[in-house]
Amino acid sequence: MNEFASDATSAPSTIPSNGENIFPKIAHAENSLNTATDRYSAANLFSAGTIAHFLVQQFPAISGPEWLRRMAAGDVVDEHGVAVTPTRAFESGLRIYYYRALETEPRIPFDEVILFQDKQLVVVDKPHFLPVIPSGRYLQETLLVRLKRKLGVDSLTPIHRIDRGTAGVIVFSAQEKTRGMYQQLFATREVRKTYEAVAPINRALHFPFTHASCMAPDEHFMRMKEINGEANTQTQFEVIREFTPALALYRLRPITGRKHQLRVHCAALAIPIVNDPMYPEFLPEPARDAPEDFSKPLQLLARAIEFTDPITGSARTFTSARQLELLAIHP
């Protein structure tokens, strides 16, 4: 669910862990439309004093027929989950939710798998290519929006990062009042994360070892890089097995959690992750209207997450059932 609509004020909603905006608008209706009929005289498709009439006026970039289509599809609902119809009367103070779609948004042909759900958490096995939150060309085709629509849990928020290209385990908070307790586990490094990656063999490296470096933003805003300075990132490396003369399967355990940390560390060690479009060489993204190429998934998998639940005190372990593509080709 991507946008909230109403009459008075608006403010962005954010993910506390990384500060990215999820939803463009959230607001409450405060004034009755019945006292401002002249303001809505241009909306001939809907009767004045209806929620639909208000939406046409509040969001003029979206046409009346498009609102009709969304309502017919059940994509416009109130705060109780009740569908809004074209004739439903305006109610002052009612919060309205609607799903925003891009006409050119492509379907990502891979499905998420829910590994666990209770009142506090939803844990998901994410496929490659699926963004976690709305951004760029993707709104509906994001893990967050898919889950909200599938589960009907509007309070879902991811409590840690996972790149769009990376597959595997990601944890969502379902309760705002307990979200900070789980976020604190990541902030204090009490969560053990294990990744697997396919990358070239480098005989100059002697495994297992821990790589530590200072990382900072690169000149290109999308990338990170290693620089001279006190180490602010650490990753443990080990080889699981070599499965071709040139490629190995590695186990990576990040001790810290910087953006693109595993990808930057692998590239710096001359074992760049297979199919990485950003490290060591940045490959420009295709044109926005170009069809997406799903033939080369990044060979990086978030295999498992482990932590002690701050509410129940029980040990939690969640494991992905996915397999990296190159391992399926070379078992």
pLDDT digit string (tens) for the chain, length 331 residues = 433 333 222 222 222 223 222 233 222 322 333 333 333 333 456 778 898 888 888 877 778 888 888 888 878 877 666 778 889 998 888 878 776 655 567 889 999 999 999 999 999 999 999 999 877 677 788 999 999 999 999 899 999 989 999 999 999 999 999 999 999 999 999 999 999 999 999 999 999 999 999 999 999 888 999 999 999 999 999 999 999 999 999 999 999 999 999 999 999 999 999 999 999 999 987 777 778 889 999 999 999 999 999 999 999 999 999 999 887 776 6
How far apart (Å, rounded) are the C-alpha atoms in residues 133 and 15?
9
Write down the pLDDT at residue 207: 98
Strand partners, 199: 248
Q: Which domains, and CATH codes, for the chain?
A: 3-98 (no CATH), 113-329 (3.30.2350.10)
> CA torsion sign, 261 to 262 to 268 to 272?
negative
Write down the pLDDT at residue 31: 30
Q: Is the pTM of this model over 0.75?
A: no
Number of H helices, E strands in the chain: 6, 16
> CA torsion sign, 238 to 207 to 267 to 183?
positive
CB 318 within 8 A of CB 170: no
Beta strand 192-200 with 209-217: parallel, antiparallel or unpaired?
A: unpaired
Write down the pLDDT at residue 201: 98
Write down the pLDDT at residue 112: 98
Write down the pLDDT at residue 167: 98
How far apart (Å, rounded) are the C-alpha atoms in residues 123 and 69?
33
Secondary structure of residue 62 in the 3-state scheme: coil
Strand partners, 316: 307
Write down the pLDDT at residue 44: 55
CB 310 within 8 A of CB 181: yes
Write down the pLDDT at residue 82: 76
Write down the pLDDT at residue 81: 64
Which residue reads 């798998």 in tokens? 113
Left (φ > 0), alpha (ψ -120 to 50) or beta: where does 49 sit?
left
Secondary structure of residue 187 in the 3-state scheme: helix
Write down the pLDDT at residue 331: 64
Structure tokens at 52: 């639909």
User: In terms of C-beta density within 10 A (0-12 exposed, 13-18 middle, 19 or more buried), how is residue 289 classed?
Assistant: exposed
